[in-house]
Amino acid sequence: MTHKILIVDDESKNLEILNECLHNADFKVSVAEDGEMALKLVNYVKPDLILLDIVMPEMDGFEVCRRLKQNEMTQGTPIIFLTAKTDSVDKVKGLEMSAVDYITKPFQPVEVVARINKHLIISNLRKQLEAKNVQLQGHVYHLESLASLGKVINETQDVAQMMINAMQVTLAVFKCDRAWLLYPCDPNATSWRVPIEVTSSEYPGANILNTDIPMQPAIAEIMHNALSTTEPIVFGLEHEYKMPPKITEQFAVQSQINQAIYPKIGKPWLFGIHQCSHARIWTENEIKLFQEFGQQIGVSLGLSISVDELHKSKVRLSRSSYYNFIGASMPMQIVYQSIDDVALSNVSILITGETGTGKELCAEAIHKKSEKGPFVVCNCATIAKDLLESHLFGHVKGAFTGAVSDKKGLVYEANGGTLFLDEIGELSVSMQSSLLRFVQTNTFHKVGSHKTEQVNVRVICATNQNLLIESKKGKFREDLYYRINTVEIELPVLRKRGQDIILLANFFLERFALEEQSKFRGLSAEAEKKLLTYEWPGNVRQLKNTIHNVMLVNDGELITDKMIAARMDKFVQHDDVLVEENKKIPVVTINEFCSFKEIEKKVILKCIEHCDGNVNEAAKLLGISRATVFNKLKQYKNHS
């Protein structure tokens, strides 16, 4: 960095000597021959250090120094006095006026450069220290503000009072004209009403904001924009969004920040602040603090609203099924309500839960509820990593070996609808970068093409991994995690769903009885108890395959506890992983000569058992048709 030095001296010889030696020392030099010129020049030059002669006509160096220290632009700029006098009184006076040094003429150029460098270093260190102090003060204020917010919103259980407390702290911290919380936030509503707190009632619109206001396109657009992201939407002169004229006229809003918040249960709501007195430029620190305010309000207030909403609606607590879900337990009611609340928005959704909990069913239910376009599924774990990008985004002819023609990817097929990415944690890091760009912009390039294409797709992802932990390990991009996790829906494990186990077991029994033309019509009381006591590490998928397998290998009208036990006893659980006992034993063991039909029977039954009761998978492993396997099973039943 080249430092700028201003020399103020009425003697041309001194100016010439100093100018030359400072130029040789790689400084950028400006000169002024008197005090008036210097006072004007500093506003344009903005020097890093000033060499100031004391004895000058009309205005001496002391007066120039005094005025420089009054100027906001130069009050912190180091000043070194130059003088031919050796009087210590002048030196003391100069230092009392906040000069940093005093050089006596005639001077040595080497000494001048050395002193300048020393004071520039000191000045830079001082500026860094001041900046650190400002940063530290800002950090302390940041933490104190969040602590104040947490205190007032946690001291009451009343939702209305929590809202008022949150808005009052927001007003005080951000020194704005209005703070407001809109609940629920629904751009498709015919009217809206926002509770507000104000520092002054003189601004237009303050009174009508607490009444029902017909929905306007400008308001609906603001809501839609806010609901499409987890980050604050900022309106202001130097920001991306400008206040719509109608909003400015009706409510006197000059600048605004708002943020959508998604509680676990209930519709999303909007948190915001207004500046009405002037057009305000929001700083990065203010925007970050506002976002953290929103997050903290979302946790505390969102929980209270969620509980309140659950108590208000008994209907939502009594659904025993929802699209393809079966279950009446409270954990499933929360899932159903979460789907209701987010289905109509365009936000990215992350579905989490153990294997077998129904993540694809959840994604499908969200899509069906939204009633928008096609539903396209991609299992990221089953597609070769080097083919996944082409599979998702398509490719052009000749992009790679085997690309004999253009191909449209899954994102194109999902245009106008939903793209469901299952096992998102299996993506390679490079593929994560491509997906991040797509999720952020809805734009992509086909493999082998530089043409940018755009679609309108809502992305739903699913995983049985903890992606936040994976991001800390460097295996999953943190920015992608937060981008796909605008809303998270966590599916409960089967062992925590209580009587849902019996509902599901009966559902699967009826379904498979119809498919297999079986005589089974129900579960014995002992069988139900057996099902309820099992841990179900494989969740709903394991329960489904258990019922199917029991029906295939047994006869009767009621499934008994002994049938269930015979199936379950083949499995043990180690460290939350399902492991089949005797896994290393050969598929079938023959201890004596027997007919090929008997060997065939043992192999088929053992293979079905190996596939956890899944006849389709068993048929694939055996290399025969599904119908053949079923016919064989019927033969074994008839001859048993």
Longest dimension (CA), the chain: 125
| Location of structure tokens 């080497």 | 110
Q: Which amino acid, 407?
A: K
Q: What is the pLDDT of residue 572?
A: 46
Helix (H, G, I), strand (E, B) or coil at 62: helix
Structure tokens at 519: 């005589």
H or E, element range at 618: helix 615-622
According to the model, what pLDDT value does residue 500 have? 94
Q: Which of 9, 127, 131, 14 is nearest to 78 (CA)?
A: 127
- The residue with tokens 């308001």 is 219
pLDDT beneath 70: ranges in the chain: 86-91, 135-136, 138-143, 264-266, 301-317, 570-594, 612, 637-640
> H or E segment at 458?
strand 458-463
Q: Which two tokens stand for residue 174?
A: 């951000």
Read out DSSP for 406-425? -EE-HHHHTTTSEEEEESGG
Q: Which domains does the chain have, with CATH numbers?
A: 4-126 (3.40.50.2300), 159-311 (3.30.450.40), 329-492 (3.40.50.300), 509-638 (1.10.8.60)
Q: In whole angstroms, what separates CA 75 from the centre of its chain? A: 44
Q: How far apart are the first and last CA of the chain?
A: 92
Task: For residue 377, give Cα distances in angstroms to 279, 382, 429.
Answer: 47, 12, 21
How far apart CA 579 and CA 563 sit, in angstroms, is 20
Angle between helix axes 385-393 and 429-441 (nearest 10 degrees) is 10
pLDDT of residue 573: 43
Q: What is the rounded distance in angstroms from the CA atom of residue 568 to the CA atom of residue 579?
A: 11
Residue 453: its H or E element: strand 453-454
Query: What angle in degrees, to the nearest 10, is found between the helix axes of 525-533 and 500-516?
Result: 120
With a CB cutoff of 8 Å and minimum separation 6, the contacts of 191 are 212, 213, 214, 215
Which of 449, 423, 540, 437 has its CA nearest to residue 480? 437
Each residue of 388-437: pLDDT tens digit? 899 999 999 888 888 889 899 999 999 999 999 999 999 998 899 999 99
Confirm if 460 and 420 have CB atoms less than 8 A apart: yes
SS3 call for 182: strand
Residues 240, 242, 244, 247, Cα dihedral to 10°: 120
pLDDT at 105: 82
DSSP symbol at 105? S
Among the listed residues 339, 347, 405, the one whose alpha carbon sits nearest the alpha carbon of residue 369: 339
